[in-house]
Amino acid sequence: DGGITQSPKYLFRKEGQNVTLSCEQNLNHDAMYWYRQDPGQGLRLIYYSQIVNDFQKGDIAEGYSVSREKKESFPLTVTSAQKNPTAFYLCASSIRGRTYGYTFGSGTRLTVV
Amino acid sequence: GESVGLHLPTLSVQEGDNSIINCAYSNSASDYFIWYKQESGKGPQFIIDIRSNMDKRQGQRVTVLLNKTVKHLSLQIAATQPGDSAVYFCAENPNAGGTSYGKLTFGQGTILTVHP
């Protein structure tokens, strides 16, 4: 079945560490997105990518980095510069430039310990 | 900046009742709206969508109504069931045409609790 897979489901980070969240899709979607979700708030866009080897900052990109070396993969690195990284991170994909057919992964919960 | 918001953060209903979840948006250029359901610890799931050239769209047990005059969106769930308990988000495509690159703007969410 086609879908979008995020791993790990739970991730713990020590102060000062960089951690990388994985996002893989086999939907043949060109566009991929990373959102952050905090309790009581909507989803906020971190980074997005419309095609391989290209990505753009979203609304809250500071302290995060991404790469898009393959169409299927869009990993997110939470760097030590992100001062409040504890949150639920959601990856999504869609047909390039379109919002219908938007598909989300099951999320990664990151906690700073 | 412009954003999508929800009037009611929580909604409790009895099983079998109809539920109405509301959403206000402020960007008059938005041309497409989506409702998502998110269960605890999971990613959002698509429920139903509507384009700005429509006022109403029906799915299985769900109806979305769009009032562009007052920039209001609602989701109606008929015969609500305990399995409908979740957080419901509205989302909008804030730019008409092809310039939005698929970026959605999300509301805060409404927690729907269905009591047996």
pLDDT for the residue B107: 85
B25 touching A, CB under 8 A? no
pLDDT for the residue B1: 33
* pLDDT (mean) for A76-100: 87
Q: Residue B6's pLDDT band (boundaries 50, 70, 90)?
A: very low
Q: Residue for token digits 């560490």?
A: A17
pLDDT for the residue B3: 43
- State which residue of chain B sits closest to A97, comparing Cα positions: B101
Q: Under an 8 A CB cutoff, do A99 and B32 touch?
A: yes
Tokens for A92?
Answer: 């999504």
- Give the whole-angstrom CA distance, residue A84 versus residue A36: 11
Tell me the per-residue pLDDT of A24-77, one tens digit each, with 9 for 90 and over: 999 999 999 999 998 777 889 999 998 999 999 999 999 999 999 999 999 999
Residues 6+ apart with CB under 8 A from B69: none
B45 touching A, CB under 8 A? yes
User: Considering chain A, what percentage of its residues have pLDDT values greater than 90?
Assistant: 71
- Fill in the DSSP letter of residue B70: T
C-beta of residue A47 within 8 angstroms of C-beta of residue A64: yes
Reduced to 3 states (helix: H, G, I; strand: E, B; else coil), residue A97 is coil
- Give the whole-angstrom CA distance, residue A110 versus residue B78: 36
Tell me the per-residue pLDDT of B62-111, one tens digit each, with 9 for 90 and over: 999 999 999 999 999 999 999 999 999 999 887 655 445 567 888 888 99
Beta bridge partners of B21: B75
C-beta of residue A82 within 8 angstroms of C-beta of residue A16: no
A94 touching B, CB under 8 A? yes
* Nearest Cα residue to A104 out of B56, B63, B84, B34: B34
A7 touching B, CB under 8 A? no
Cα torsion A66, B40, A93, A71: sign: positive
Q: Under an 8 A CB cutoff, do A43 and B32 touch?
A: no
Cα torsion B113, B103, A50, A36: sign: negative
Q: Is the pLDDT of residue A101 over 70?
A: no
pLDDT for the residue A99: 63
Q: In this complex, which of A48, A98, A107 lies closest to B43 when CB atoms are compared?
A: A107
Select from B100, B104, B111 the residue whose CB has the most chain A CBs within 10 Å, as the one to mutate to test that interface: B104
* pLDDT (mean) for B31-55: 92
pLDDT, chain B, mean:
86
* pLDDT (mean) for B19-43: 90
* pLDDT (mean) for A95-104: 74
* Separation in Å, CA of B95 to nearest CA in chain A: 11
C-beta of residue A22 within 8 angstroms of C-beta of residue A84: no
Q: Is the pLDDT of residue A95 over 50?
A: yes
Q: Is the pLDDT of residue A88 over 50?
A: yes
